[in-house]
Chains A and B, each alone.
Chain A
Amino acid sequence: MALFFHYLSLPYLLEGIEVTLQVTALGLIGGLMMGVILASMQLSRFAVLAGFARGYSIIFRGTPLILQMVFVYDALPHIGIKLPAILAGGVALAANEAPFISEILRAGVLGVDRGQVLAGQALGMTPGVLMSRIIAPQAIRAMIPAFGAEAVSALKNSSLASVIAVQELTLRSTQLASSTFDFFSIFFASGLIYLCLTGAIAIIQLVVEAWLDLDRASSQKRLLRLLPWYRSQPDGEPIEVAEGGIVDAGVAELPPSRPKLELVDHAKRAEMLRRNNIAVGVEGLRKRYHKQIVLDGVEMTVRIGEVVALLGPSGSGKSTLLRCINHLEGWEDGSIRVGGRRLGFADSGRKLSPRELANERAEVGVGMVFQQFNLFGHLTAKENIAGPLRWVHGWSRIDADRRAFELLERVGLGQRADALPRHLSGGQQQRVAIARAIAPNPSVLLLDEPTSALDPELVNEVLEVIRRLAIEDGLTMIISTHQLRFAEEVADRVVLLSGGTIVEEGPAREVLTRPRTTVAQRFLSAMAEE
């Protein structure tokens, strides 16, 4: 036991820790840098880069680290690269860690909800902004445990550098054992040292995890609540539906609507709209997923201020059409113009890069609301709205916050500005999403089945918000929906899609009450039965 403590405190071994940490740090930092490169190559649009990265991964993940160490140390000098031992060990460890770290990064990035990525694109975020503001913050949170494990593994793997004369802890332990014959005392001592080091990594991991925990903010608030001057702001679970199940619980949160316009004279309004400029023009749009034809020659014109309801059975191409209008998806044939601009193509006809496309989307101003809300999970309700204004449109923090609060008030969520999406009900989330979409004053708002994912009692609050946008703001909207009554009430025009083509279109009331085609009749009667 005395020997054990003697070796535990022996400067010779303690100095070995330093070398062990140096090799580990080189391996992890180098591995992280190479891992980032490998992961971005694998995630890139270019097949050659992805292939190269995959090849590297196969080789360096598939061969033992001990061979790689010997290779860097003994083989590279033959081509004139003679690295000092510690550096050679660090380089070999980095080369070996890179593919593992790359896979962690890739899993983290791919693990971020695809819907949020779509929402970010729809908001006009460039790939860079999307990565740094939306994907990375969430991916990093998810990757911390894996990184902790990888760091521990790298630390232990650094012991293999003992084969190439790196004077780290393991090599020192074996040499000491050879000269003193105190085999077990020495190895127990160095084992304990390794345990302390890996334990330290585990603690760092836990601290970082706790630090990045999104709910930490609310636990801070819990403490704040103890302060006498703290004004409570509900942020816990969604507000419960009051006794008796009032169906418009969410509607009650909305501010009183402005004096309602007199009953709209539909004929007059239609006449007025007809004179307006074209907001969205779709010509001969064709799109396939592999062999399946999704859109088959769609022609559609939407004028400024018009509200168009897209109806049609599931799989009729409604969502795809909306995504094409925002160029979230490409298409084979046809063209789409928004505000007179041909989306996705430069004046010369060249296809735009993702970055240019994002900028164009932000400029032209096409807002989008998704069925699954797609709020950014790591941002509060306020930040979901204010963030994109700052990152995409370059607003100042003050202006963006003011706009966010104003819109949250309008959708009845002024009190929940600091709540995370996961603490909001579906209806509340969709209202935030609508506020987010209209924040930069888009010229067109696309709503993709905005109430389909909601529980029935939450549908009304969302419809009410949309209704007000249409009537009070005169916003140009294309809504795909199954809510016939809503469509009749709000839409100027109904477009009925089936099998990728428009089977009927016309003034909302007319199509919905007196459908001409049999497809429309069958669809509407089926919908009415539900």
Chain B
Amino acid sequence: MRKRLFIEELMRRLSAAGSRGAVFAAIVIAGLCAPVVAKAAPSGCAALAEKYPDWKGKTLVNAINPHTPGYEAIDPKDPNKYVGFDIDLGEEIGECLGFKVTYKAVTFAALLTTLASGQADIVISDIYATEERAKAADFITYSKVFDGVLVAKGNPKGIHGIDLTLCGAAAAENTGFVEVPLVQDMAPKCKEAGKPEPTLQLYDNNANCIQAILAGRADTYVNDVNTVDNAVKANPDKLEKAVAVTIPYSVGIAVPKDKPKFEEAVMAVMIEIYKSGDQLALLKKWELDPNNLKEPGLLTVK
């Protein structure tokens, strides 16, 4: 997809430049395309592509919630493209099995619904694989989860995680995030400790959660540590990361339950990508913590 868009963009410029520029542009295309094409899929891919030929030449839809810079977000330099770790991962899976990827941007809560309704073929969008979610789709897990606690600069409320320090605070979360029930579970515990319950504010995407803290509406936003880091990087004088907490989940690729063959193929490719070292390389490329690296696994619930 990215390559196609890239070429399309050049074609557009080419036609805009008119016939005189055409020759020049053609040369530019030839020159620029080379390095993109050069990035090879892992060596085992050829065998896998042969074993799983069903998706060769197809175009699959990847449903994403593109509000997580580092994982999936639009490219600030060219907003027609999506970029990030998950995007690269999906492209590489596609490259391996011979399909192209297009994207469907939906709210986080709508990711699995979109997959279930057949409006998407796969979901690679930094979604935590939980038992609850595994009722709607099968998950191929590929990354460990570390959460960061985003707070206003100086951490005025002294929040240090989803624990008793959260009592009485206002937490911003995305609708459908796994952190939501964790924060909700704190209510009885705070009550027991004789402290006020934490309140929960539900938003549609990361940006809105971060804005809630910047606007002073919420005290904290607990989410994937890389997302938190990126938010701090964008607003270094207003935000800070209080602490990183471990969450007992893995990040997973969601695939439809009724397509076992596809699931098997994606799983095989993920193992290949992990073994080849490409997965670690991608983590580094997107400046994500190498500790996130995890051997692919499967989470299914009947």
**A residues engaging B (CB < 8 A)?**
10, 12-13, 15, 70, 73-75, 77-78, 82, 85, 163-165, 167, 171-172, 174-181, 183
Contacts and interface: CB of A to CB of B under 8 A. Distances in A.
B117 A175 contact: no
Interface string B42-73: 00000000000000000000010011110001
Contact of B76 (A78, A85, A179): A179
Contacts of A180: 76
B207 A77 contact: no
A74 B117 CA distance: 5
Contact of A179 (B73, B80, B116, B214): B73
Contacts of B116: 74
7 contacts: A77-B119, A82-B118, A163-B107, A176-B76, A178-B207, A179-B74, A179-B75
Contact of A70 (B110, B210, B235): B110
B79 interface: yes
B113 interface: yes
Contacts of B73: 175, 178-179
Contacts of A172: 79
Nearest to B70: A179
A178 B114 contact: no
B114 A165 contact: yes
Contacts of B79: 10, 12-13, 172, 175-176, 179
Interface string B202-230: 00111110110010000000000000000
A240 B74 CA distance: 73
A266 to B, nearest CB: 88
Contacts of A179: 66-67, 69, 73-76, 79
Contact of B105 (A12, A167, A181): A167
B67 A165 contact: no
A183 to B, nearest CB: 6
Contacts of B207: 174, 177-178, 181, 183
Contacts of B107: 163
Given A73-B117, A82-B118, A178 B69 contact: yes
Q: Give the interface size class of chain B.
A: 20 to 34
A179 B73 CA distance: 5
Nearest to A13: B79
A82 B117 CA distance: 9
Interface string B137-148: 000000000000
Contacts of A15: 80
B254 interface: no
Nearest to A78: B117
Most chain A CB atoms below 10 A, which of B117, B118, B211, B231: B117
Main secondary structure of the interface of A (DSSP, over half): helix
A178 B110 contact: no
Most chain B CB atoms below 10 A, which of A12, A74, A179, A181: A179
B106 A165 contact: yes
B104 interface: yes
Given A10-B79, A176-B74, A165 B105 contact: yes
B36 interface: no
B31 to A, nearest CB: 24
Nearest to B105: A165
B114 A171 contact: no
B110 A175 contact: no
A177 B210 CA distance: 11
Given A179-B73, A181-B235, A174 B67 contact: yes
Nearest to A15: B80
Nearest to A10: B79
Contacts of A70: 110, 113
A458 to B, nearest CB: 68
A179 B83 CA distance: 10
Most chain B CB atoms below 10 A, which of A74, A172, A177, A178: A178
Given A77-B117, A178-B73, A178-B205, 17 more contacts: A73-B114, A74-B119, A75-B117, A77-B119, A164-B110, A165-B106, A165-B119, A172-B79, A174-B207, A175-B67, A175-B105, A176-B76, A178-B68, A179-B66, A179-B67, A179-B74, A180-B76
Given A176-B79, A179-B69, A164 B118 contact: no
A165 B76 CA distance: 19
Nearest to B67: A178
B234 interface: yes
Contacts of B63: 165
Nearest to B84: A179
Interface in B92-125: 104-107, 110, 113-114, 116-119
B29 to A, nearest CB: 20
Contacts of B104: 85, 165
Given A74-B113, A164-B106, A167-B105, A178 B206 contact: yes
A172 B81 CA distance: 12
A172 B107 CA distance: 12
A12 B66 CA distance: 15
